[in-house]
Amino acid sequence: MRKPSSLLAGQQPTLPPPLQHLRGERRLLDNQWIAYLATGGDIGDGMSLSNDNRFVTAIDRINDGGYFEAHELFEQAWQATAYPERLLCLALSKLGAAFEQQQRGRLHSARKIVGDAQRCLHSLPAMYGSIDIETLRKDLNTWSAKSGSSPLLKRISVT
């Protein structure tokens, strides 16, 4: 369990949020999980995703430039995955969509979608689900600081 310095010795984070949401309340539950993880909630290692063929194939597709297909595969993995791993699938699904939007010249849409992905990645550890999250966050922050004027990263580092 990760415990940020904001927790006092012996203090435990709150109980985890529910694993399922009511129709139309996914964003609310995402935010609850992000807040829970930010307070040091148990996140696990995310390695169960490496056994999900959709997830593994989606990483290959995004790294090969098949952004729309990657988005769809990450979304399928997201729908079949429980929290907190679900946040990683959601973030990567959004990145597939953002890459596709940038490729089509829709920078405003790409910026908005990248912001949503960054929100999901914020509370994940540096390495999670075989993905180098820290490098991904840095690359996205650099891209955002340039107002999306440079190409988005085209590769997701996997260990």
Q: What is the pLDDT of residues 12-26, one digit of tens each?
A: 557 888 887 778 888
Domain CATH for 56:
1.10.3450.10
Identify the top-confidence range among 8-12, 130-134, 144-148. Answer: 130-134
Q: Does 51 fall in a domain?
A: yes
- 148 touches 107 (CB < 8 A): yes
Residues ≥6 apart with Cβ < 8 Å to 84: 33, 37, 41, 43, 44, 46, 124
Decide if 75 is inside a domain: yes
Q: Residue 45, CB half-sphere, CA atoms under 13 Å: how many?
A: 6
Position with higher pLDDT, 151 vs 92: 92
Structural domain tally of the chain?
Answer: 1
Is 14 inside a domain boundary?
no
Distances (CA, A) of 138 to 13, 32, 92, 143, 153: 27, 24, 15, 9, 10
Q: Is residue 125 part of a domain?
A: yes
Alpha-carbon distance of 136 to 76, in angstroms, equals 21
Sign of torsion over alpha carbons 112, 114, 117, 121: negative
Q: Tell whether 118 is covered by a domain.
A: yes
Residue 15 has a pLDDT of 85
Q: Is the peptide bond before 84 cis (omega within 30 degrees of 0)?
A: yes
**Given this model, what pLDDT does residue 75 score?**
94
Task: Say how many residues make up the chain.
Answer: 159
Instruction: Give the pLDDT of residue 2.
Output: 42
**Is a pLDDT exceeding 70 seen at residue 6?**
no
Q: Per-residue confidence at 153, pLDDT binned at 50, 70, 90?
A: low
9 lies in some domain: no
Enter the pTM of the model.
0.84
pLDDT more than 70, % of the chain: 87
Q: Which domain holds residue 51?
A: 26-145
Does 157 map to a domain?
A: no
* 36 within a domain of the structure (yes/no): yes
pLDDT score of 148: 63
Amino acid identity at 141: N
pLDDT, tens only, 48-107: 898 899 999 999 999 999 999 999 999 999 989 989 999 999 999 999 999 999 889 999
